Amino acid sequence: MPSAIYSLPRVYTHRSPAADLHLTLRLRGAEERDQPEEHTPAAPRAFRKGTLTVTPVLDDTRMGGGLRAPFGAEVEGVDWTQPVPEEVIEQLKGLQDEYAVLIFRKTGLDNARHVAFSQQLGQRLEINPFFYGREQDRIGDPYLWDVSNINRDGTLVKPNSRRWHHSLGNALWHTPAVCASALSLRMIVRMRLVIILMISLMTLLRQDSSYHQERSKYSLLLSHGKPVRGGSWTHFADTRQAYEDLPQSMKDMLEDLVVEHDLWHSRRLGSPTTFKEPLPHERAAKPPAYHKLVQQAPGGGRKTLFLAAHARLILGWSLEASQKLLWDLIEWCTQPKYVFSMEWLDGGDMVWWDNRQSMHRANPYTESMTARDVRRTTVIDDGPFAWGVTEQERTAAAEQARESGVRQWELPLQ
């Protein structure tokens, strides 16, 4: 792979992702900003759905009146002290299909109830592979992924350790991820300009586990302890609305493309030296996976982009052309109008997102950061695209892409 792909200048900005639109897309606790009168967004419109109170994050009123489907919602009214009734589970799944990201405050959930609720949402949960050894497991539950910066003995992860560098890829947009400090949402600028490092990147936008051949459906990230105010954020991008707004010529070009997703590609982007090559046991544990770029979202049939920083190669294209298109699409999807940022305010705050309809990113480890304790469960997909594409389908897609050739494109970024 050309080394230039991993050595481009990386930039990041510590400012509100919404600043470019003069909007404050805020949940409770986000910083206030001066903004022109004509751009001041209306207050969120809460509504009742059964026993639940739902407050959308991005909808028509929050985007200055422009028509768009809603994205993200804060939900109140769930009784977390007991197993959630099946009728409430069905209400929540309906909201999830519509909003793609649901936020719950002060749930009071512990590890066992976190796992139990996740198991109500799907038949199987992902098992933590413990890349850095089970001797580092401080939680004791195979279904919980420790995405904190805390070692088993209570000390913080040391700068420049392999675990530290592994975390830098979480700053990249992906499907599925975690908390991030308020960084610019257009941080992942065109590859030829920036592939962003994000030493404090929460990193790159991603979709959790797109690098699995059997992909994930939901991720549920729960905060333990008291988050540091002003420094704990997770950013989410709406890949459904972003797809709908693409020029038709671009939609036609993308329709049949198949993408190779590789965890070690995003780790190398985040830390080019440490992850120049994965260790043999790392590569064996996580080989590449293959998924269609354009897919159908659940609950209504909207199309969506299955995209992430893990995406390395479009089958039938050169690596250079693949990376240019993939990062142009990531930049398109992460324009401020498609993104909101959630601040972590209290222990027990939980966010549940659909990896098939969104990307996310978190903030990176920094040497000055205090302890950050967040734990994630991941529900395995059971839908029609769960297993990606077969080897036969991969071969056919590569041949078709080679025959069609690489077309020219231009995206009207705002």
**Predicted model pTM:** 0.79
pLDDT over 50 at 134, yes or no: yes
Residue 6: inside a domain, yes or no? no
Residue 224: inside a domain, yes or no? yes
Q: Is the four-CA dihedral 314, 318, 319, 322 of positive or negative sign?
A: negative
Average pLDDT over residues 189-206: 35
Residue 4: inside a domain, yes or no? no
Read off the CATH number of the domain in which 166 is found.
3.60.130.10
For residues 218 and 377, give the distance between their C-alpha atoms in angstroms, rounded to a whole number: 8
Domain that holds residue 290: 44-404
pLDDT tens digits for range 35-65: 333 444 555 688 999 999 999 998 875 555 4
Residue 24: inside a domain, yes or no? no
Residue 244: inside a domain, yes or no? yes
Average pLDDT over residues 116-123: 96
Residue 235, amino acid: H
User: For the chain, how many structural domains are there in total?
Assistant: 1
- For the stretch 53-87, what's the b/e string if a residue is b when 16 or more beta carbons lie within 10 angstroms of its beta carbon? ebbbbbbeebbeeeebbbbbbbbeebebeeebeee
For residues 294 and 33, give the distance between their C-alpha atoms in angstroms, rounded to a whole number: 37
Residue 12: inside a domain, yes or no? no
pLDDT tens digits for range 168-188: 555 566 564 322 222 232 332
pLDDT interval class at 24 (50, 70, 90):
very low
The confidence score (pLDDT) of residue 308 equals 85
pLDDT tens digits for range 310-326: 899 999 999 999 999 99
Strand partners, 351: 103, 221
Residue 9: inside a domain, yes or no? no
Which residues lie below 8 Å from residue 200, measured CB to CB, with a gap of 6+?
A: 12, 171, 181, 183, 363, 364, 365, 366
Residue 22: inside a domain, yes or no? no
